[in-house]
Amino acid sequence: MNDLSRRRALGTLGGGALLLGGCDRLAATQPLQHAFHGAEGLTYRVQRLLTPRDAMAPEFHGADLSPVFRSNGTAMPASADYAASLASDFRDYRLHVGGLVARPLAIPLDRLKALPQRAQITRHDCVEGWSAIGKWTGPALGPILRFAGLSQAARYVVFHCFDDFGGTAYYESIDLVDAFHPQTILAWALNDRPLPVANGAPVRVRIERQLGYKHAKYVRAIEAVASLDRIGRGKGGYWEDVGDYAWYAGI
Ligand SMILES: Nc1nc2c(c(=O)[nH]1)N[C@H]1C(S)=C(S)[C@@H](COP(=O)(O)O)O[C@H]1N2
Ligand SMILES: [Mo]
């Protein structure tokens, strides 16, 4: 797709009602992560030296797809809001993009599907020791942030989810290197079908260079922030705060 048609497709974001003005321990499979546990900045810098952060995650072929892409963590968010939205086939769903942006967005599902799409067959690695290969389809996150007018002050992107664990909604965050990585997409399809509820319907993020818990399911809102200090307990994600997982979970 050339720049012009990309801009046109993104232009559709501006129309109509759209613009308004929101696991357990680290497994032995991650020795590096584990060794530097507690020295987050160091892990991050070491990883940066070992692999360029903009390198692509390996992509696979149709023949490699796992027969079943298992679900992990929440398989059905318990909130009444979510149930109502699911019952209406997510017709009332809006992906909110806010925080440090010039133009907050509320994007309906059909608009997300009308944007330029990326499809990728990748391997998902969960720290609990399982992997699965799936095909994910959705728009890249970067152009959406750009369209929203991401502020110069923004350093991180936070994903707020519909599901909660004992009253705390699941959340995750990434830096702008991952936010603008071409394989970071807002997936609404798994294996060419709308995302099953167990895998995060209607929208889940794919951050292919990081471990499974970073791939927030049931995304309700995306918030651009300058610091993670005021998000949850400050470590940038539900499991980071509660389970002491590493914020940077590069693979
Ligand atoms: N909102 C939300 N996102 C989540 C989770 C969750 O429980 N809630 N679990 C995480 C973990 S630990 C993994 S491994 C993957 C599992 O994705 P799947 O259910 O599609 O296999 O989602 C991640 N994202
Ligand atoms: Mo996981």
Domains of the chain and any CATH numbers: 2-241 (3.90.420.10)
For the stretch 31-90, pLDDT in tens is: 434 434 445 666 676 666 667 888 999 999 999 999 999 999 999 999 999 999 999 999
70 pocket-lining for ligand 1 (C-beta < 6 Å): yes
Pocket test for ligand 1, best of 30, 159, 217, 219 (most atoms within 8 A of CB): 217
Nearest-atom number in ligand 1 for the CA of 72 is 19
For residue 245, pLDDT over 90 is answered with yes
pLDDT given for residue 248 in this prediction: 94
pLDDT given for residue 2 in this prediction: 47
Ligand nearest to the CA of 161: 1
pLDDT given for residue 28 in this prediction: 35
pLDDT given for residue 5 in this prediction: 52
For the stretch 156-197, pLDDT in tens is: 999 999 999 999 999 999 999 999 999 999 999 999 999 999
For residue 29, pLDDT over 60 is answered with no
23 pocket-lining for ligand 1 (C-beta < 6 Å): yes
72 pocket-lining for ligand 1 (C-beta < 6 Å): yes
Query: Which residue has the least CA distance to atom 1 on ligand 1?
Result: 217
φ/ψ (deg, to 5) at 222: -120, 125
For ligand 2, the distance from its centroid to the CA atom of residue 72, given in whole angstroms, is 6
